[in-house]
Chains A and B, each alone.
Chain A
Amino acid sequence: MGQVLSLIKDYFGFLFVLICLGLILFYIYSDRNRPKINLRDIQAFKHFRREVDLTVEAGKRLHVSLGRGNINDLQGGAAFIGLSILDCCARAASNSDRPPVTTSGDGVLTILSQDTLQSAYHTLATEQRYDPTNARLTGLTPMAYAAGTMPTIHDEHVSANIFAGHLGSEIALMTEASERSRSLSVAGTDSIPAQAVLYATSDEPLLGEELYAAGAYLGAGPAHLASLRMQDILRWVLILIMVIGAILKLLGILP
Chain B
Amino acid sequence: MTDVICPLCGKPNPPDREECLYCQAPLKASGFVAPSEPGDEENQLLPPSGETGEAEEQTSQPAEASSLEQAIPDWLKATEANFLGQSESEQEKPGTDLVSEQIDSLLNQPSTPDSTNEPAIDDDWLASLLEETGIGESSATTSQEESSEGQEDTFEADKTEPFSEELAQEEPPASADQAEKPEWLTNLEATSPIKLDRVLPASEPDGQSTGVVDTGEETGSGEMEIPEWIAKSGSEVSPPSDKEAESQIAPAELPSWLEALRPDEGVSPTGPLEDLSAADIVTAGPLVGLRGVISAHPSAIRAHKPPTYSIKLRVTEEQRARVEMMEALLADEQKPKPLPAQPVISSRNIFRLVIVVVLILPIAWMIITGSQRTPAPQPGNIPGVVDFTQQVQTLPIGAPVLLAFDYEAGFSGEMNLAISTVINQLIIKNAYMAIVTTTPAGPALAESIMRRADTGLEGKPETYYTDLGYIPGGTIGLLGLANSPKTVLPYSLDGNNVWAVAPLNAISSIKDFSAVIVMTNDPDIARSWIEQVSPQLQVDGTPLLIVTSSQAEPLIRPYYEATPSQVQGLVAGFVGGLAFSRTVGNIQQNGTWDAFSIGITVSVLIILIGSIIAVVLKMLALGKLKEN
Please list the residues of chain A having a beta carbon within 8 angstroms of any beta carbon in chain B: 2, 58-60, 70, 72-75, 140-143, 168-170, 180, 182, 191-193
Contact = CB atoms under 8 A, between A and B. Distances in A.
Given A72-B473, A72-B474, 10 more contacts: A60-B336, A70-B474, A73-B475, A73-B476, A75-B474, A143-B409, A143-B410, A170-B410, A191-B523, A193-B523
A193 B551 contact: yes
B441 A141 contact: yes
Contacts, number: 44
Given A60-B336, A191-B524, A143 B551 contact: no
A74 B342 CA distance: 41
B430 interface: no
B339 interface: yes
Contacts of B473: 72-73
A204 B118 CA distance: 48
A13 to B, nearest CB: 13
A170 B528 CA distance: 20
A74 B555 CA distance: 16
Interface string B590-606: 00000000000000000
A170 B408 CA distance: 11
A22 B336 CA distance: 50
B533 to A, nearest CB: 15
Nearest to A183: B339
Interface of B: 336, 339, 342, 408-410, 439-441, 473-476, 522-524, 528, 539, 551-552, 555
15 contacts: A59-B336, A60-B336, A72-B474, A72-B476, A75-B524, A140-B440, A141-B441, A142-B410, A143-B409, A168-B522, A180-B342, A182-B339, A191-B522, A191-B523, A192-B523
Contacts of A73: 473-476
B136 to A, nearest CB: 32
A140 B439 CA distance: 10
A74 B475 contact: yes
Contacts of B440: 140-141
A33 B409 CA distance: 53
A193 B474 contact: no
A193 B555 CA distance: 9
A171 to B, nearest CB: 12
B474 A182 contact: no
Contacts of B522: 168, 191
Nearest to A159: B339
What are the 8 A-B residue pairs with the smallest beta carbon separation, nearest first?
Answer: A73-B474, A59-B336, A193-B551, A73-B475, A70-B474, A58-B336, A143-B410, A74-B475
B563 to A, nearest CB: 12
A141 B470 CA distance: 14
B438 to A, nearest CB: 9
Nearest to A6: B535
B336 A182 contact: no
A72 B441 CA distance: 20
Contacts of A170: 410
Contacts of B474: 70, 72-75
A2 B551 CA distance: 34
Contact of B342 (A142, A143, A182, A191): A182
Contacts of A141: 408-409, 439-441
Given A142-B408, A143-B410, A74 B476 contact: no
B282 to A, nearest CB: 74
A240 B215 CA distance: 72
Contacts of B441: 141
B408 A143 contact: yes
Contacts of A58: 336
Contacts of A193: 523, 551-552, 555
B353 to A, nearest CB: 14
A73 B474 CA distance: 6
Nearest to A190: B524
A244 B551 CA distance: 33
A141 B473 CA distance: 15
A239 to B, nearest CB: 19
A13 B476 CA distance: 18
B451 to A, nearest CB: 21
Given A141-B441, A169-B551, A74 B336 contact: no
Contacts of A72: 473-474, 476
Contacts of A180: 342
Contacts of B475: 73-74
A2 B538 CA distance: 11
Contacts of A70: 474
A168 B408 CA distance: 11
B551 A74 contact: no
A140 B168 CA distance: 79
A168 B406 CA distance: 14
A193 B475 CA distance: 19
- Interface centre among A60, A70, A182, by most B CB within 10 Å? A70
B521 to A, nearest CB: 8
Nearest to B551: A193
A143 B522 CA distance: 13
Nearest to A170: B410
B408 A74 contact: no
A80 to B, nearest CB: 15
B66 to A, nearest CB: 54
B555 A192 contact: yes
Contacts of B552: 193
A198 to B, nearest CB: 14
Contacts of B409: 141, 143
Contacts of A2: 539
A14 to B, nearest CB: 18
B481 to A, nearest CB: 14
A20 to B, nearest CB: 20
A168 B77 CA distance: 72
B572 to A, nearest CB: 13
A182 B346 CA distance: 13
B524 A74 contact: yes
